[in-house]
Each structure stands twice: as structure tokens, then as C-alpha cells.
């Protein structure tokens, strides 16, 4: 009998995880390595990226690390082309985003540019560079991180929400353009996850509790809970999945209102 190989197995694949030094990116880096991938942890914080790679190696995995600012188009191209030249490039995962929580009428031009430069231009830089490599190789999976904010908003989320919706539209367009070359492009849509980005919310008990109540589990998500959805989209288990967003939001988008009618 032929030995069974899990379709989620990433053995033999090289995965570049951008933003891999903390939060969701760190969990995904470790998770991909545990599923057999050679991982390259890239982050603006080079020292933190090195520590994550060392953790992977200590855990028995294969890892490298390096610095990368996704706002720098040339640096993104050099980094991904370098990985492709050394090992091939099968999976690219991009997690970085920033948010400035302000009402529209209070937003400054500098703040607008800062969020757009990372969330839209940075992700576009990654998508374009990875797409050039993978369409030439005629294989690969690209995963960008969108959000529930691509669908629903709250006061103070105008630019962040717009960029997360924009990321989803970039994913759909790239899926159409790269599909003839057997390259898949998808997005993950997290709910509220305990990461450095959400630390200011967690420190406010009323705010923290309000977000927890929006999940049908009555809690926030953990970074490691984003590993399964990401590994699925990276793996052959998702070989016919492209142009999609996989929401991992604890039921946030499913629940419209919190009142349970009598007798239910």
C-alpha cells in the first residue's frame, strides 16, 4: 500500500513569511516549519526575525531570516529573488499592516500616506514581486492578510478598512491574472487577534470585552489559530482554491445582533 501523505504537508516547499517576527507572522512561521516547509522569516526587525528562525531550528525545522521593509520595492524584489535563486519559492505569506485609529475629519495627510504605504503599496510590492517569480516558475501560492474590516467597520477605521478591502481586491485580480500560470492567490481575514497591533485595545478592559462579545466564542483569537487557515491555503489541500478570502473571525461576521429571542 502506498504511504499516505497529508495534503497539508509542506515538505519540500520553501515559504517566505513577511512580518514573521511577531504576532500572527511569528505563529505562521513556526506553523509552516512544523508542517515541513523550509521557512524564511523576513521582518523590519531583523534581530527578532533571527530569533524566530533560531526557534524553528531548535524545534528541528529548517529556517533562515533576514530584514525586509515591504515599502521598499527594490528590497522586496531582491529578497524574494534571492530566496528563489537559492531554494525556489513555493509560498509567500505577507502579514504586515498598520492602523491609525482616527475619525476621517481628524486624519492628517501624513497619517493617510503612512497607512496606505504599508497596507496597499507594501502588499502590492510583495504581490508583484512574488507573482513575477511564480508565474515564470508556473507554480506557487501567495497569501495576503486582509481582515473582517474589509467587510464591516466602526468609527475610526476608515483608512485601515479601505486598505483591507483593497487587499482583497488585489488578491482577486492577481488570482485572475496569475491563474493561467498555476499560481494561486488568496487572503486570510482574521477577526480580533491578540497581537502587538491590538495591544492598545487589550489594555482597555471595556474595549477588550466589547470585542470579545462580538465573537460567538466570547473571546479574542490567538495568533496560533491563524496557522491552520494559512497552512491550508499554502498547501496542496487548497489546490483548487484561488481568489478567495478565508475568514477566521470566531463568527464575528456571522452574528448580526446579540439578542436571543425568547424560546430559542
Torsion of CA 85, 87, 88, 94, to 10 degrees: -100
Task: Return the C-alpha cell found at 175.
Answer: 488570482
Grid-cell match 476608515, residue found: 158
Query: In this structure, are residues 191 and 252 in contact, taking their beta carbons and an 8 Å threshold?
Result: yes
Give every CB contact of residue 75 below 8 A, 6+ residues apart in sequence.
68, 69
- Tally Cβ neighbours within 10 Å of residue 238: 20
Give the chain's length: 264
Task: Indicate if 208 belongs to the active site.
Answer: no
Q: CA-to-CA distance for 245 and 167, rounded, in angstroms?
A: 10
Task: Return the C-alpha cell found at 64.
Answer: 533562515
- Strand spans (E) along 5-45: 14-18, 38-43
Query: In this structure, are residues 40 and 82 in contact, taking their beta carbons and an 8 Å threshold?
Result: no
From the list 107, 160, 181, 208, the catalytic residue is 160
Query: In this structure, are residues 34 and 11 in contact, taking their beta carbons and an 8 Å threshold?
Result: no
Q: CA-to-CA distance for 21 and 259, rounded, in angstroms?
A: 40
Query: In this structure, are residues 14 and 89 in contact, taking their beta carbons and an 8 Å threshold?
Result: yes
Phi, psi of 13 (to 5 degrees): -100, 150
Catalytic residues: 160
Amino acid at each position: 500500500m502506498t504511504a499516505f501523505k497529508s495534503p497539508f504537508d509542506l515538505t519540500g516547499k520553501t515559504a517566505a513569511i513577511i512580518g514573521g517576527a511577531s504576532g500572527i507572522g511569528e505563529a505562521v512561521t513556526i506553523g509552516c516549519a512544523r508542517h515541513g516547509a523550509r521557512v524564511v522569516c523576513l521582518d523590519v526587525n531583523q534581530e527578532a526575525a533571527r530569533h524566530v528562525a533560531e526557534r524553528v531550528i531548535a524545534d528541528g525545522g529548517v529556517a533562515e531570516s533576514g530584514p525586509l521593509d515591504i515599502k521598499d520595492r527594490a528590497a522586496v524584489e531582491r529578497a524574494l529573488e534571492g530566496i528563489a535563486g537559492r531554494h525556489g519559492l513555493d509560498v509567500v505569506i505577507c502579514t504586515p499592516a498598520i492602523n491609525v485609529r482616527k475619525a476621517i475629519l481628524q486624519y492628517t495627510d501624513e497619517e493617510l500616506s503612512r497607512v496606505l504605504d504599508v497596507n496597499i503599496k507594501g502588499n502590492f510590492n510583495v504581490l508583484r514581486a512574488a507573482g513575477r517569480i511564480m508565474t515564470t516558475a508556473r507554480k506557487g501560492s501567495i497569501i495576503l492578510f486582509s481582515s473582517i474590516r474589509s467587510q464591516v467597520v466602526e468609527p475610526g477605521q476608515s483608512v485601515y478598512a479601505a486598505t483591507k478591502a483593497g487587499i482583497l481586491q488585489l488578491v482577486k485580480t492577481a488570482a485572475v491574472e496569475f491563474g493561467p500560470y498555476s499560481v494561486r492567490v488568496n487572503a486570510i481575514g482574521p477577526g480580533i487577534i491578540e497581537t502587538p497591533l491590538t495591544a492598545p485595545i487589550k489594555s482597555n478592559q471595556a474595549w477588550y470585552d466589547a470585542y470579545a462579545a462580538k465573537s460567538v466564542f466570547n473571546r479574542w483569537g490567538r495568533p496560533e489559530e491563524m496557522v491552520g487557515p494559512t497552512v491550508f491555503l499554502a498547501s496542496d489541500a487548497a489546490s483548487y482554491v484561488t481568489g478567495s478570502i478565508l475568514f477566521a473571525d470566531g463568527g464575528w461576521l456571522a452574528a448580526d445582533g446579540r439578542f436571543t429571542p425568547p424560546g430559542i
